[in-house]
Amino acid sequence: MLRVVGRRLLHAAVLVLAVSAACFVLAELVPGDFLAPARLDPRASAESLEALRARYGLDRPLHQRYLSWLGSVLRGEMGHSLAYGVPVAPLVLGRAGNTLLLSVPATALAWLLALILGAWGARRPGGWGDRLSLGLGATLQAVPELVLALLALLVAARSGIFPLGGMASLSAGELGFWGRLVDVLRHLALPTLVLALALVPVLLRHVRAALSEALEQSFVHAARGHGVGELRLLLTYALPAAAPPLLALFGLSAGTLLSGSLVVEVVMSWPGLGPLLLDAVFARDLHVIVGATLLSGLLLVAGNLLADLLLYAVDPRLRRPGATP
Amino acid sequence: MSGRRPALAWPVAVLAFLHLIALGADVVAPYDPAEQTRELIWAPPTKLHLVDAAGRWHLRPFVYRWRPADGAPGRYVEDTSRIFPLRLWSGEAGTRRLLGVEPPARLHLLGTDGLGRDQLSRLVHGARTSLFAGLGAALLAVAAGLLLGTLAGYFGGWLDDLLMRGSELAMALPALYLLLAARAFLPLELGPAAAWGLIVVLLGLLGWPPAARLVRGVVLAARRRGYVGAARGFGASHVYLLRRHLLPPALAVGLTQLVLLVPQMILAEVTLSFLGLGVSEPTPSWGSMLVPLTSYPVLAAHGWAFLPALPLVLTVLSYHQLASAGRQRLRRTA
């Protein structure tokens, strides 16, 4: 087990080094940098541009810049944003908090929907419940997240019940605690729904497959023969048997909490990690790009580790010496 | 699994239809996708009529001209003073179009956009950008996956280790973040053709790991088969073994991967173009056509601006159906 944890940690370290090094080298190779728009400005003199370059540290050679970035990672700053003029770590972490505020409820809702629909479908394969949940899954899978988010905007624009994107109303500052809470929840409703609906098809397919396989096992038939009720059969007999692949999937979906909502965030102007990265891409704010990418990548590695650990916890076969995880 | 076979005919027909339209965009599109009509900003879809204002029936469908509504800026009403019959294969030689009407009337079956460009023409030309970007990127990814996966599975050793660790590293990053980060370090302003090529190559290069890992598994399994050992015992060369015994099963896996990858790649191109990092204006893409839908006036007043999203949904649906039908048929033959 320790070996698995160790391997994932090593993986994370290699990821940080390889991705950051690749980003720095690529940024060096390609023309244009953060000051490119300023250079087009006729009012900016060559001297002041040089001074800005020196202040931002863009005049130093590549390896020096990379080493100083690594130093700032060790100090917990993750570099410095040129566009925002602040260290990257607090900036990225604050935005990541907003993303989690959106993605955690959405992922929870998606799992709830997938478990209910999947169980309903697996109970009677080929029945109308099964057909309904399969049809819903296929439909949702065909509608891209982008289109779904735009449709949600349409609903917001036409109905007027929900705000048109953003995280808080302009007047939010004047509201009391409860007023602000209700305001954020109202802004949260549509993006959460869109993200959850986009996540459902994949989860639903796995839940249905795992549960219908578990329900075919002979011990389930035996329990049914002994008169165990349908609900108990599902919850205490089939669900534990179906758990291993679902827990692995749960770990993976926890790993995408930061990275899975980029499109929804951009379309519905949710101030999360996605729009931050997009702005940084347009502005060539190198440290923010590296920081946002690495943070979401690290959470993905952590999600894989969580999947391993959960599997290890529920599957006694893996705990036997000599078993390969 | 239910015993019914998923249909194969309709997804093939739909995809063939869409690709044919994309190929023939120059003829199918009623207008040049970049042509702007400043008098018709966000004009609603042109209606086809059979009965004119006086109640007379016409055999040939016809349209009326849009004219600005009195006292309501941005709204249009039909000018029923003159009818313009629909023409098939009209226009001068060399610039003939499948459908058209006589000027000064204009045929905008899906309406116009904020610059007065014909949405249908942009959609048809955008199909060229988006459909073939997806196809090209998926082909590239599967080709790279086949090559690297076969090498890793057949030769093993340090090459295998290197390639598999590399693919793990590439898959450890969220795909869209990786794509945006990679796109960040490529020139932002590019000609349409260069930008299109760049996106295809980028998507193709980032998409190889899953295909490579699957192919490696298949080659690894096939290499242990008795007939491969026998052929090797008879002195078969690496090239012969790969071509005769290992590539065929790997190709089948590659084909299913291809069908699964194409819709993902199309969506990736659409997303990039939507975010403003793809093919630039005036070249249309299905992604950039969705950008106006984020503005309140369009959402509130021009609901038909959503029509360009329909072919995208239809394409994704058809590819998914094709993938599940193909999987079922391969399983049966295996």
User: A75-94, pLDDT tens digit by residue?
Assistant: 888 888 888 888 889 999 99
The Cβ of residue A193 has, within 10 Å, a number of other Cβ atoms equal to 18
CA-based nearest distance A140→chain B, Å:
10
User: B108-135, pLDDT tens digit by residue?
Assistant: 888 888 888 888 999 999 999 999 999 9
Residue A30 and residue B168: Cβ atoms within 8 Å? no
The topology (CATH level 3) of A99-284 is MetI-like fold (1.10.3720)
Helix (H, G, I), strand (E, B) or coil at B183: helix
Contact B31, B121 (CB under 8 A): yes
Q: Which domains does chain B have, with CATH numbers?
A: 46-107 (no CATH), 119-333 (1.10.3720.10)
CA-based nearest distance B188→chain A, Å:
8
Measured CA distances, A71 to A65, A66, A79, A89 (Å)? 10, 9, 9, 13
How long, in residues, is chain B?
Answer: 334
- Residue B172: which of A143, A278, A300 has the nearest Cβ? A300
Nearest residue of chain B to residue A32 (CA atoms): B187
Helix (H, G, I), strand (E, B) or coil at B90: strand
Q: Tell me how far apart the alpha carbons of residues B28 and B97 are, in angstroms, rounded to a whole number.
A: 6
pLDDT of residue B104: 79
Suggest the residue from B167, B177, B312 to mutate for an interface test with chain A (most A CBs closer than 10 A).
B177
Measured CA distances, B99 to B29, B63, B108 (Å)? 8, 12, 11
Q: Tell me how far apart the alpha carbons of residues A152 and A250 are, in angstroms, rounded to a whole number.
A: 26
Residue B294 and residue A150: Cβ atoms within 8 Å? yes
The residues pairing with B88 across neighbouring beta strands, listed in sequence order, are: B99
Domain segments of chain A as ranges: 99-284
pLDDT of residue B140: 95
pLDDT of residue B58: 85
Residue A256 half-sphere exposure, CB side, CA atoms within 13 Å? 19
CB pairs under 8 A between A and B: 121
- Whether the pLDDT of residue A321 is over 70: the answer is no
The pTM score is 0.88
State the DSSP H helix or E strand holding residue A305, giving kind and residue range, or none if neither.
helix A286-314
Q: Tell me how far apart the alpha carbons of residues B231 and B210 are, in angstroms, rounded to a whole number.
A: 30
pLDDT of residue A186: 86
What residue type is B122 in one-letter code?
A: R
CA A61 to chain centre: 35
Q: Considering only CA atoms, which of A75, A19, A96 is closest in space to residue A265?
A: A96
- Mean pLDDT of the residues in chain A: 84
- Contacts with B176 from chain A: Cβ below 8 Å: 259, 262-263
- Check residues A102 and B182 and name the one with the higher pLDDT: A102
User: B276-318, pLDDT tens digit by residue?
Assistant: 888 877 889 999 999 988 888 888 888 888 888 999 999 999 9
The Cβ of residue A124 has, within 10 Å, a number of other Cβ atoms equal to 13
Integer-rounded Cα radius of gyration of chain A: 24
Q: Tell me how far apart the alpha carbons of residues B29 and B21 are, in angstroms, rounded to a whole number.
A: 9
